[in-house]
Amino acid sequence: MEPAAREQERLRWRSRRGLLEMDLILQRFLDRHLATLSVQDTQAYDVLLDLPDNDFLDLVMGRAEPADDRLGPVLEKIRQS
């Protein structure tokens, strides 16, 4: 398996959450954007995946804003998916 394919599989696996709503949102995002994410977006997405489910959902739903501005572009892609 190519390194890029391995990285995509790793991100898909890490995207499985405890909340069904997040699973659906992230699956849609990955289906639309995973193959074209920049290195910066991939790194930002990894940071988001480290968050607890409810904190991540609040960011995705716009109920909270990220403290780190570097997360904004990938969050916008998730929100638009």
CA dihedral 46, 81, 64, 66 (to 10 degrees): 40
For residue 1, pLDDT over 80 is answered with: no
Residues 62 and 76: their CA atoms lie apart, in Å, by 10
Q: Which pLDDT tens digit goes with each residue over 3-60?
A: 888 989 999 999 999 889 999 999 999 999 999 999 999 999 999 999 999 999 999 9
Tell me, what's the pLDDT at 37? 93
Q: Which pLDDT tens digit goes with each residue over 39-54?
A: 999 999 999 999 999 9
Closest CA to 79 of 15, 26, 18: 26
Task: Please give the CATH topology (third level) of the domain spanning 3-80.
Answer: DNA polymerase; domain 1 (1.10.150)
| Residues 11 and 45 sit within 8 Å (Cβ to Cβ) | yes
Tell me, what's the pLDDT at 3? 80
**Assigned token pair, 32:** 């639309």
